[in-house]
Chains A and B, each alone.
Chain A
Amino acid sequence: MKKDNSRRSFLKNISLATFSALALSGCDMKAVDEFLQDNFRILTKEEKDVIVKNLEVKYKEKYGKEFHVSDKPAMDGVSFGYALDLSRCVGCRRCVYACVKENNQSRDPQIQWIQVLQMEKEKGIDFAHSTIHYNPETVPEPGHFYVPVQCQQCENPPCVKVCPVKATWKEEDGIVVVDYNWCIGCRYCMAACPYGARHFNWGEPNIPKEELNTEMHYLGNRPRMKGVVEKCTFCIQRTREGKYPACVEICPVGARKFGNLLDPNSEVRYILKNKRVLVLKQELNTQPKFYYFFGV
């Protein structure tokens, strides 16, 4: 592995030094470093720490605030699971906006990691007759129910399989993450995802400075750049610190449950054991770790 690294870096030096000098002449060395930065997953702990520290400095210069960027790895013995109670969800979309705020999603162009589908009770779970553009005075509307969809954190993620550059992968705790500095923006993962969970920065993302969440994770809610893909990470910056995801915390009806699938006493395990549970598009064998259930 060590040898492999040195060969890689040697090859990289000779083949990219000229090119990058040309491409980035006039830019400062930091931009060159960033351009040459390797895939985050194959970096050592020390290299990751340096990158994260540099990011904190960069963000401070850019936004004039103190930031904390974490590169905390997955905890041992943890595999995150999510359960959503379809019988409780009222379709208020508070989760959508809490997520946008927590995870520094672009306001304009608008990016939202959670999409809430309104469905007809008569038809059941039927995407073709659902809409995300419902807009009544009050929710829930009679005769309807609501299915919020976000990344299902598949055990068998099709998006990871198709990525041509290994810029997205499944972490030890089951969270599927993206290295925004490695993604080339080909959007093959978006074509492969059966849940519409991946979102692309079609333009330069915009977030009001005062609304930026300063607690960040490298693989999570740090500001993204134009031309890369992003997605729900179960609020990796929170959940790896032992907190609930923002959408779980905000839900006014307690429809959202979160926990460790490997802990037999966790709430998600209780739900899996005792409730009627389903996953979306089971026939595709993606094996989501995002379960829908009927609590009442």
Chain B
Amino acid sequence: MNFIRFITGSIKIILRGSKVYYAWLILLLLLIIWGGLGYSDQLSEGLIKTHMRDSVSWAFYIGNFTFLVGVAAAAVMLVIPAYIYNWKPIKEIVIFGELLAVCAVIMSIAFVVVDIGKPLRFWHMLPLIGTMNFPSSMLSWDFFVLIIYFLINLTVVTHLLYSIFYKKEYNKKLVLILVLASIPMAVAIHTVTAFLYNALPARPFWNSALLAPRFLASAFCSGPAILLILFQILRKVTKFEIKDEAIWRIAELMVYAMFIYLYFTITELFKEFYSGTEHLLYWKYLLFGIGDNKEIVFYSWSSIGMGVVAFFLFLIPKTRKNFVTLNIGAVLIYASVYVEKGIALIIPGFTPDVLGQIYVYTPSMTEIRTATMIFSIGFLLFTFLVKIAIAIIFENYEISVLNKRKKS
């Protein structure tokens, strides 16, 4: 009964808002409709509406999936420094981080669903009713850890918000255990996602032990970038308090992550280029193109360029502590990792293909529209959840509702 009131209260929160809020919702809805129409084409005609073919059999969708798993992982890993440095609003950082994680996991699973040929058969993957290939298949592992991670985070945020809503003391022991469990799980989801590619000796481009560490490092760049901007917005429009020092500290941690990522990439490049084996072909395709096939070169260099600029903006104390350049850096590193995971990671794994043939892939309009649909749904969900959280945490929403009830 109490829980139902919590839900109805939450729904009331998301229905109220300023003009800007409504405009944002309408924009997202329009994007969802535009993207959804593209996706419905794919549903009726098949994945032939994408530019994937037998040579490049995974592409933009699975890249987005990978990126979002990284966002989900990093959002929660931010809890570690929050504890270590004892930032004041730890509870709030945990809540917003986990809300982001919940949305990112939903989006990442949505990208898997749109990528499979027979989405209605998804239940074949479930344990007991289907025939899950566990522990042999990395994909079933990935599904498994993502679901657990999702449930942990959902439980923690729901419990915290519910407790604040009713002004009850939250179950400290339970929350602490779950938050502590969610940290290794965050590492696990991104590691297993890296293993998904890593485990394929047929694809030399991914068959490097550095892949999983590189995944984690890049996730630590992109995930906190979103929260960095979100915290500044929250600080402006709500009573949320976070010191400048904490924000700069996050940025500082991101510099370490960027440096490690850069370092790993350089060691990888050294090994490949100095050895000069036939496996160099994939890196050549990524960075310079092969023959006249240079379509992907723009993506890879733009990712590298944005990443390097962001690195220096974050590295130099003056620009790190200036909020304009800091935010530019956050956007750039986010975009850099997005392009890297979305295109630069997946496509060279398939080009040239296992028989040495080159099929040039760039995303089709249907793929871009479907991705837009999923991101818009994710943003919509995140907007709603953040709005509920803000109202409950900072605006004492529960009291006004209860008082009204008592009066009437």
Q: Does A253 contact B (CB under 8 A)?
A: no
Q: Are B355 and A184 in contact (CB under 8 A)?
A: no
Selecting from A87-95, A124-132, A235-243, A261-269, the interface stretch reads A124-132
Q: Are A128 and B278 in contact (CB under 8 A)?
A: yes
Closest to B357 in A: A132
Q: Enumerate A190-211 residues with CB–CB distance to B below 8 Å.
A: 190-196, 198-204
| CA A196 to CA B196, docked complex, whole Å | 18
Partner of A195, one of B46, B55, B354: B354
| CA A31 to CA B281, docked complex, whole Å | 47
Q: Does B124 contact A (CB under 8 A)?
A: yes
Q: Are B118 and A185 in contact (CB under 8 A)?
A: yes
Q: How far is the CB of B372 from chain A (nearest CB, A)?
A: 21
Q: Are A200 and B47 in contact (CB under 8 A)?
A: yes
| CA A166 to CA B134, docked complex, whole Å | 9
Q: Are A128 and B352 in contact (CB under 8 A)?
A: yes
Interface code B146-163, partner A: CB below 8 Å = 1, 0 otherwise? 000000000000000000
A165 in contact with B353 given A184-B121, A202-B48, A203-B45 (CB within 8 Å): no
Partner of A200, one of B57, B122, B136, B357: B57
Q: Are A23 and B120 in contact (CB under 8 A)?
A: yes
Contacts of A201 in B (CB 8 A): 46, 117
| CA A153 to CA B240, docked complex, whole Å | 61
Contacts of A198 in B (CB 8 A): 54
Q: How far is the CB of B146 from chain A (nearest CB, A)?
A: 13
Q: Does B200 contact A (CB under 8 A)?
A: yes
Partner of B129, one of A11, A131, A184: A11
Selecting from B12-20, B27-35, B137-145, the interface stretch reads B137-145
Contacts of A227 in B (CB 8 A): 46-47, 116-118
Closest to A147 in B: B355
| CA A282 to CA B45, docked complex, whole Å | 39
Q: Enumerate B338-364 residues with CB–CB distance to A below 8 Å.
A: 349-350, 352-357
Per the CB 8 Å criterion, the residue count for chain B at the interface is 52
Selecting from A53-61, A62-70, A156-164, A170-178, the interface stretch reads A156-164
Contacts of A195 in B (CB 8 A): 354-355
Residue from B132, B139, B197, B352 having most chain A Cβ neighbours under 10 A: B139
Partner of A161, one of B123, B137, B278: B137
| CA A128 to CA B200, docked complex, whole Å | 19
Q: Does B37 contact A (CB under 8 A)?
A: no
Q: Are B58 and A187 in contact (CB under 8 A)?
A: yes
Q: Are A128 and B140 in contact (CB under 8 A)?
A: no
Q: Does A8 contact B (CB under 8 A)?
A: yes
| CA A199 to CA B119, docked complex, whole Å | 18
Q: Are A164 and B117 in contact (CB under 8 A)?
A: no
Closest to A112 in B: B54
Q: Does A260 contact B (CB under 8 A)?
A: no
Q: Are B355 and A117 in contact (CB under 8 A)?
A: yes
Partner of B57, one of A39, A109, A161, A187: A187
Interface code B190-224, partner A: CB below 8 Å = 1, 0 otherwise? 00000011011111000000000000000000000
| CA A199 to CA B54, docked complex, whole Å | 6
Closest to A111 in B: B54
Closest to A117 in B: B355
| CA A182 to CA B132, docked complex, whole Å | 12
Q: Does B104 contact A (CB under 8 A)?
A: no
Q: Does B53 contact A (CB under 8 A)?
A: yes
Q: Are B137 and A188 in contact (CB under 8 A)?
A: yes
A109 in contact with B48 given A132-B355, A191-B57, A196-B353 (CB within 8 Å): yes
Closest to B349 in A: A191
Q: Does A186 contact B (CB under 8 A)?
A: yes
Interface code A223-238, partner B: CB below 8 Å = 1, 0 otherwise? 0001111000000000
Per the CB 8 Å criterion, the residue count for chain A at the interface is 56
Q: Does B275 contact A (CB under 8 A)?
A: no
Q: Are A184 and B57 in contact (CB under 8 A)?
A: no
Q: Enumerate A101-134 residues with CB–CB distance to B below 8 Å.
A: 109, 115, 117, 126-132
| CA A200 to CA B139, docked complex, whole Å | 18
Interface code B39-67, partner A: CB below 8 Å = 1, 0 otherwise? 00000011110101111011000000000
Partner of B281, one of A35, A128, A184, A187: A128
Closest to A115 in B: B355
Q: Are B201 and A194 in contact (CB under 8 A)?
A: yes
| CA A70 to CA B74, docked complex, whole Å | 52
Q: How far is the CB of B210 from chain A (nearest CB, A)?
A: 19
Q: Are A228 and B357 in contact (CB under 8 A)?
A: no
Residue from A42, A129, A184, A190 having most chain B Cβ neighbours under 10 A: A184
| CA A129 to CA B400, docked complex, whole Å | 73
Q: Does B4 contact A (CB under 8 A)?
A: no
Q: Are A164 and B54 in contact (CB under 8 A)?
A: no
Partner of B355, one of A149, A166, A192: A149
Contacts of A276 in B (CB 8 A): none
| 20 further interface pairs, Cβ-Cβ under 8 Å (given A23-B120, A186-B116) | A7-B128, A8-B128, A16-B129, A19-B123, A35-B120, A128-B278, A128-B281, A161-B137, A163-B133, A165-B132, A184-B119, A185-B117, A188-B196, A190-B57, A191-B57, A193-B202, A196-B54, A202-B47, A204-B45, A227-B117
Residues of A within 8 A of B (CB): 7-8, 11-12, 15-16, 19, 23, 35, 39, 42, 109, 115, 117, 126-132, 149, 158, 161-167, 182-188, 190-196, 198-204, 226-229, 284
Q: List 30 A-B contacts (CB under 8 A).
A: A8-B128, A42-B131, A115-B355, A117-B356, A128-B352, A130-B356, A130-B357, A132-B355, A158-B201, A162-B200, A163-B137, A165-B132, A182-B124, A183-B121, A184-B117, A184-B118, A184-B119, A184-B124, A185-B47, A185-B118, A186-B116, A187-B115, A188-B137, A188-B139, A191-B57, A191-B58, A194-B202, A198-B54, A200-B117, A202-B50
Closest 10 CB pairs of A and B: A185-B117, A227-B117, A127-B356, A203-B48, A194-B202, A164-B139, A202-B48, A190-B57, A165-B124, A203-B46
Residues of B within 8 A of A (CB): 45-48, 50, 52-55, 57-58, 112, 115-125, 128-133, 136-140, 143, 196-197, 199-203, 278, 281, 349-350, 352-357
